[in-house]
Amino acid sequence: MQSVNLEFSPSAMIALNAIIALMMFGVSLELRAEDFKRIVLAPKAPLIGMLVQFVLLPAATCLLTIVLPIDPSLALGMILVATCPSGTFSNIMTWVARGNVAVSASVTAVSSVTAGIFTPLNFALYAGLNPQTRALLTEISVDPLELLLMVLLVLVLPMVLGMFIGRIRPLLAQKLERPLRIFSLLVMLLFVGGAFVKNYAQFLEYFHLFFWLVVLLNSMALLLGYGCARLWRLPAADVRAVTLETGIHNSALGMALIFTFFPQSGGMLLIAAFWGCWQLLAGLLLALYWSRSTPAGSQPRPLPSAIKQGSH
């Protein structure tokens, strides 16, 4: 993978960071303290989701990269994606799947806030456990504190600011939320589309290498979430929420981290970019399959206001 040299300018990296920060700000405008209180009041399902998200999936991914004979940069990309928090699309897909949206929102909110600690920590830990990725990580010389600061600036700080604005100016937040989500989503699609067109030949050339890795990793994430939720005998609606939470990650954050700290690692970017596309397709197909039946012991849930007004 050393011959992979994807073209991205420094201004493009700054733009991506700004897009993610705008996304997180828009998402958090209708996020409330109640989303975090749900974990205290009914902790079982959210805690299982967090366990899979930040412990089991990164560990299983690390083991997978050790067992499989793959390029270190691809392995490093898999580990980074696995350590990113859940993505906001999981909330919509949970609703489509007739799952427990409250559980989904709780896991998304808490995983995003705690990502400032867990994402850099898990990435450094598991990338260091694999001898091949450890050598590559040492060669790149990533400062864990810089990585932590990056996650805080593009993820945690915009979320805290959005929650603050939403609390003191709820009407303004309600007006801003939908256009912000639509705008940030469109800009993100334009960014990804432009990057793909600019590097079209290399994406096609290495498609056979990263395609199956992303499919395998995403399938493993979904199965881990589903298996753990069933093992702890969660209600069917909670099982669907936990499964989709562990299968849908914030790949945009992963791409931003790669642009900032690993711009020379084309293999990592191939994994993160394709993961962002594949997880949405796989998650949507699973959600549509589940949507054909109401979970046992539950009633169809109304769409939360945050999702009604549009979500990315």
* Segment 82-101, tens digit of pLDDT: 999 887 778 778 888 988 87
* Residue pLDDT, tens place only, 135-149: 887 666 666 677 777
Question: What residue has token string 């303004």?
Answer: 172
Q: How far apart are CA 112 and CA 108, in angstroms?
A: 6
Cβ-contact 115, 309 below 8 angstroms: no
Residue 1 has pLDDT above 60, yes or no: no
- Measured CA to CA, the distance from residue 268 to residue 81 in angstroms comes to 9
C-alpha 230/C-alpha 236 separation (Å) is 8
Cα angle for residues 123, 129, 132 (degrees, 5° grid): 95
Summarize pLDDT for 191-219 with one digit per residue, the tens: 767 766 776 677 777 788 889 999 999 99
pLDDT for res 239: 95
The yes-or-no verdict on residue 76 having pLDDT over 90 is yes
Residue 242 has pLDDT above 90, yes or no: yes
Supply the mean pLDDT for the chain.
81
Give CB contacts under 8 A, 24+ apart, made by 274-278.
274/210, 274/211, 274/214, 275/81, 275/214, 275/217, 275/218, 275/249, 275/251, 276/192, 276/251, 276/252, 278/214, 278/215, 278/218
